[in-house]
Structure 1
Amino acid sequence: MRNFIQPGKVLTAVAPSGGVVSGQLVQVGLIIGVAATSAAEGEQYELALGEVYELPKVSAQAWTMGAAIYMDATGIATTVATDNTKIGVAAAAAANPSGSGLVRLNDNF
């Protein structure tokens, strides 16, 4: 294909106010990804999409594999849908309490 640009598993984005830290869950418009690199505000960074990541979660939640996972306003993964953005599904069970869980990020809309 003459119009193919790239696979799209990693996109270059510009860091928002406060910058980004490698491994941080980031939302850019409708795109949800994990910062693959750190960057100060206004600098470019790589945003990884799809795939499975270990992300900080609401500690007091137990997750089952395949459960819908959302991102709250603070960037923490949760099973609570209300007022949160769907980011993917739990890739494995996660205990209550636990500070992180495995999430398979959505890579299509």
Structure 2
Amino acid sequence: MARNFIQPGETITMTAPYAVTSGAGLLVGAVFAVALASAAQGAPVEARRVGVFDMTKAPGEAWVADTTKLYWDNTNKRVTSTATGNTLIGVARQSQASADTVGRVLLTGQIAA
């Protein structure tokens, strides 16, 4: 392995920008991740940048598995299919009905533009 390798980067320590609970999304600068533990605002928290998670979704949206691009709505702290004003985080991993309040999300680990 290269001598300059530090870590894989799928799980990183972040500073919670607001109080988060385990399993909640957080956006720190250009990096989105899911908190692996609860943390107070300003506290360090281990967070996962990639993987499949069940997350709170915006109401009234139907998602199609492996087709619907998903975004983080940092104002409402939920996942949405609305791109405008939100941060791309991944894709729907399971089709969801518009009445569903939770959706299965594949986080792809990209960095926000």
TM-score by length of 2: 0.88
Given that 1:59 and 1:100 are in contact with CA atoms closer than 8 Å, whether structure 2 keeps it comes out as no
Q: Is the 8 A contact 2:26 2:35 kept in 1?
A: yes
Matched with 1:45 is 45
Give matches, 1:20-39, under 5 Å.
20-39=20-39
Q: Deviations over 1:17-64 (max 9, x none)?
A: x42211111101111110011111222110111111101001211100
Q: Which among 95, 105, 108 is matched to residue 107 of structure 2? A: 105
Moved over 6 A (4+): none
TM-score scaled by length of structure 1: 0.91
Listed as ranges, the matches of 1:28-107 within 5 Å are 28-66=28-66, 67-72=68-73, 73-107=75-109
- Inter-partner Cα distance in structure 1 for 2:87 and 2:94: 20
Give the conservation status (yes or no) of the 8 Å contact 1:35–1:47: yes
8 A Cα contact 1:23 1:36, kept in partner: yes
Supply the distance in 1 between the matched residues of 2:19 and 2:79 (Cα, whole angstroms): 20
Distance in 1, Cα, partners of 2:102 & 2:20: 19
Q: Which runs of 5+ in 1 are unaligned?
A: none
Q: Is the 8 A contact 2:37 2:45 kept in 1?
A: yes
Quick one: percent identity of the two aligned structures? 38
Q: Which runs of 5+ in 2 are unaligned?
A: none
Alignment partner of 1:51: what SS? strand
Aligned length: 108
Q: After the TM superposition, which of the residue ranges 35-44 and 24-33 deviates more from structure 2? A: 35-44
